[in-house]
């Protein structure tokens, strides 16, 4: 279901939510239910990063593990730069590092640092689905960061029911609908039987009731 119909259903979810007073700006969430698929098989699990055409209403926060030239390039473009000499310190203070991981949506790393990160910090990053994207030191980091700012993760793990964010309620309805259509298109492309493997998809605000769109 795409286009005009998606716009109408997103508007319905927003209208239902407006009936309840909220003192904060709500997310627009998608709740996906798969069917006729064995999630026990790792190959059937969804683990996608999707660049949304209109972002999610706020920029994703990005941290980078880098040294030398790459650290200089990243200055002012990412939210946090972690130098190689800081990795061991963070490994000893897991509470501090967990806070950093929870506050950032994506991590990038100079490729040469990945083995060290895996051994020392992977225990925190891995379970949260935030292992860094490795990049060569000569990469033009601005383009990667620009895309990640508008990226969301679509992850099912071993569950047939999972959710992701598609925007913020203050965004335009058509923008939210286009984001949703982009997510659904990618999801269908990754399922063995495409749309047939989708049991249902609902859209909802953070605290509002859900509206079925598929």
Q: Which of 99, 121, 148 is the last residue of a domain?
A: 148
H/E stretch holding 30 reads strand 27-34
- Distance of CA 120 to CAs 79, 107, 114, 131, 159, Å? 22, 15, 10, 12, 28
Residues 177 and 107 in one domain: no
Q: What is the pLDDT of residues 81-123, one digit of tens each?
A: 999 999 999 999 999 999 999 999 999 999 999 999 999 999 9
My answer on whether 96 and 26 are in the same domain is no
Instruction: Please indicate, yes or no, whether residues 69 and 51 belong to a single structural domain of this protein.
Output: no
CATH code, 184: 3.30.190.20
Residue 159 reports pLDDT greater than 50: yes
Alpha-carbon separation of residue 99 from 90, 105, 138 (angstroms): 11, 12, 29
Q: Is 167 in a helix, a strand, or coil? A: strand
Q: Helix crossing, 173-190 with 4-18: angle to 10°?
A: 120
| Distance in angstroms (rounded) separating the CA atoms of residues 171 and 149 | 16
For residue 204, the tally of other CB atoms under 10 A from its CB is 22
- The stretch 131-151 carries a mean pLDDT of 95
| pLDDT tens, residue by residue, 39-71 | 999 899 999 999 999 999 999 999 999 999 999
* Secondary structure element (H or E) that encloses residue 96, with its range: helix 94-103
The pair of three-digit structure tokens given for residue 103, joined into one six-digit string: 């506050």
pTM for the complete prediction?
A: 0.86
Residue 178 pLDDT:
96
């Amino acid at each position: 279901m795409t286009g005009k119909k998606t716009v109408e259903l997103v508007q319905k979810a927003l209208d239902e939510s407006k009936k309840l007073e909220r003192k904060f700006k709500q997310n627009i969430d998608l709740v996906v239910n798969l069917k006729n698929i064995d999630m026990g098989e790792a190959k059937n699990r969804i683990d996608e990063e999707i660049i949304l055409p209109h972002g999610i209403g706020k920029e994703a926060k990005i941290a980078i593990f880098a040294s030398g030239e790459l650290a200089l390039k990243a200055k002012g473009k990412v939210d946090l730069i972690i130098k190689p000499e800081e990795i061991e310190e963070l490994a000893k203070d897991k509470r501090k590092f967990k806070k950093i991981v929870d506050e950032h949506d994506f991590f990038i790393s100079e490729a040469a640092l990945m083995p060290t990160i895996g051994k020392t910090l992977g225990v925190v990053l891995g379970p949260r689905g935030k292992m860094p994207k490795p990049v060569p030191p000569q990469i033009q980091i601005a383009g990667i960061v620009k895309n990640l700012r508008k990226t969301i993760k679509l992850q099912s793990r071993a569950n047939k029911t999972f959710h992701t964010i598609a925007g913020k309620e203050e965004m335009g309805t058509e923008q939210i609908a286009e984001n949703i259509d982009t997510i659904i298109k990618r999801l269908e492309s990754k399922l063995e039987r495409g749309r047939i493997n989708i049991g249902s998809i609902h859209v909802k605000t953070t605290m509002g009731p859900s509206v079925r769109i598929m």
